[in-house]
Amino acid sequence: MEARQAMDDEQRWQAVQAKDRRFDGAFVTGVHSTGIYCRPSCPARLPLRRNVRFYASPADAEAAGLRACKRCSPDAQSAEEACVLAAIAAIREEGALTLDQLAELTGYSPAHFQRLFKRTVGLSPAGFARALREERVREALEKGASVTHALYEAGYSGPSRFYAQTKGRLGMTASDWAGGGKGRMLHWSVISTSLGDMLVAASEKGVCCLSFGEGEKELRARFPGADLVPADSALDALFRQVVEAVEDPRLDNSHIPLDVKGTAFQQRCWEALRTIPPGETRSYGEQAAMLGKPGAARAVGSANGANRIAVLIPCHRIVQADGSLGGYAYGAEIKAELLRREGQG
């Protein structure tokens, strides 16, 4: 799995703090105050960091004089993980497989394997296969392939199938990716809020910009190829929903349509941000781990910085590893206030 790439001790510790099952098998945690070693996801109470050392395998931990934890059995974990890894390899090689096919491959019942796969990967086997195909399309488009070639190479039967499966998701269409999204008409307005003046712009697909303390000059710099038009009453309802989401960021805003442009990695980062519940925060390292790329904290920070839609894509929920606020494009005061509002009862 992608999550099992080279990690440093800080990233391993973040995985242990999160009790993240995806890293079981990638390393074991040695607790030298108790003389045992555990999986990263061990349900036991979190040890003190100063008592912890990390080992590549159970054999390495045992060579250092540690014994296996009886609660999480890190030395007897591989049967289920091996089945999940075998299924991932098969999906990467052959494309989407039915649950019956995966069950036959792994020896589990279809229902049990579905639960096992989702618990380990975070997606169902079908969801993983769809995400893999979409990622391959976007990667091909970024490299300059034609839309038709990219879709067929990724395994879609035609463009209509791709659009049907990706309809309503965060991100632009395949043709937008290939053409850079130029020539769009954007309707915009500056609206007074309790956080200050807020710039909102929307295309026919949805909100494409939400920022604070900016105006037409900044919007034109962000979208130099777009035709900017002052918003009219037709967008009152949409902009009212945006204001409500800013005034109370605890509200579910998933119904507000978005139109964003970014690389495949940026869009994955922004999707991950939208899965963080209001009132909770993550570090850059934890967000990177959510993407299965635990060593990419710096790249995640850059992707978050490229986010043009504040609040609705909540990069304010990312903080430093020590819990401090860290930076925010529109100032620490607005970030702190958004988090304060989300933490209200």
Q: Please give the backbone phi and psi of residue 128, each rounded to the nearest 5 degrees, phi first.
A: -65, -45
With a cut of 80, say whether residue 336 has pLDDT above it.
yes
Residue 57, helix vs strand vs coil:
coil
Least confident of 97-111, 172-186, 196-210: 172-186
Domains and CATH numbers, the chain: 2-76 (3.40.10.10), 77-167 (1.10.10.60), 185-247 (3.30.160.70), 264-342 (1.10.10.10)
pLDDT tens-digit series, residues 194-236: 999 999 999 888 999 999 999 999 998 888 888 899 998 889 9
With a cut of 70, say whether residue 72 has pLDDT above it.
yes
First to last CA, the chain: 39
Q: Which amino acid is at 157?
A: S
Choose between 223 and 79: higher pLDDT.
Answer: 223
With a cut of 60, say whether residue 4 has pLDDT above it.
no
Cα–Cα distance for residue pair 75/97, rounded to 1 Å: 30
CA 274 and chain centroid, separation: 8
Question: Of 269, 247, 268, nearest to 337 (Cα)?
Answer: 247
Cα–Cα distance for residue pair 119/125, rounded to 1 Å: 11
Choose between 119 and 159: higher pLDDT.
Answer: 119
Tell me if 88 sits within 8 A of 1, measured CB to CB. Answer: yes
0.85 surpassed by pTM: no
Active site residues: 38, 315
Q: Does the CA dihedral 150-151-156-158 come out positive or negative? A: negative
pLDDT tens-digit series, residues 307-326: 999 999 999 999 987 788 88
With a cut of 60, say whether residue 25 has pLDDT above it.
yes
Whole-number pLDDT of residue 145: 59
Looking at every residue in the chain, the average pLDDT score rounds to: 82
Whole-number pLDDT of residue 179: 45
